[in-house]
């Protein structure tokens, strides 16, 4: 996207009237999900900009791609944490059930041991 004023090409950044010195190809993600197929879906938009804005737009694009990768990594960590917590909760429930059963077995054994013994003659 290059704005023209007369024969001069002007920077596409709003408010900047400097001459175009380069083109930045900005990749816009179609989605922010972690799906690998979706990661390949991007729209690339060429933008003409002055020297300062070429550098700034390039920096912002790199930052956006880094943030996207970080977001996807964070989502993977969260999914793993959820699965781990779910497994731990299941293990805890099983352990609590076993502890309750052990307490019941112990109480029954103590009750049986406390009964008067009948000695057969």
Judged by the rule CB under 5 A, the positions of this chain that interact with Zn ion are: 11, 13, 16, 18, 50, 53
Q: Of 18 and 64, which has the nearer Cβ to Zn ion? A: 18
Residue 24 or 50 with smaller CB distance to Zn ion: 50
Structure token digits, residue 15? 């408010």
Cβ neighbours of 49 (radius 10 Å):
26
In sequence order, the β-bridge partners of residue 8 are 5
Could you tell me the smallest distance in angstroms from the CB atom of residue 51 to Zn ion?
8
Report, in Å, the least distance between residue 66 CB and Zn ion: 23
Contact yes or no for 47/24 (Cβ under 8 A): yes
- Residue 93 β-bridge partners: none
Pick 42 or 61: Cβ nearer Zn ion: 61
């Amino acid at each position: 996207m290059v704005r023209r004023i007369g024969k001069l090409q002007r920077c596409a950044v709003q408010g900047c009237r400097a001459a175009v010195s380069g083109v930045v190809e900005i990749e816009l993600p179609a989605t922010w999900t972690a799906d690998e197929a979706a990661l390949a879906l991007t729209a690339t938009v060429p933008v003409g900009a002055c020297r300062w804005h070429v550098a700034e737009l390039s920096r912002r694009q790199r930052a956006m791609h880094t943030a996207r990768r970080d977001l996807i990594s964070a989502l993977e960590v969260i999914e793993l944490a959820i699965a781990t917590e779910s497994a731990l909760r299941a293990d805890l429930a099983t352990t609590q059930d076993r502890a309750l059963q052990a307490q019941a077995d112990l109480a029954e054994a103590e009750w049986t041991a406390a009964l008067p013994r009948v000695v057969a003659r």
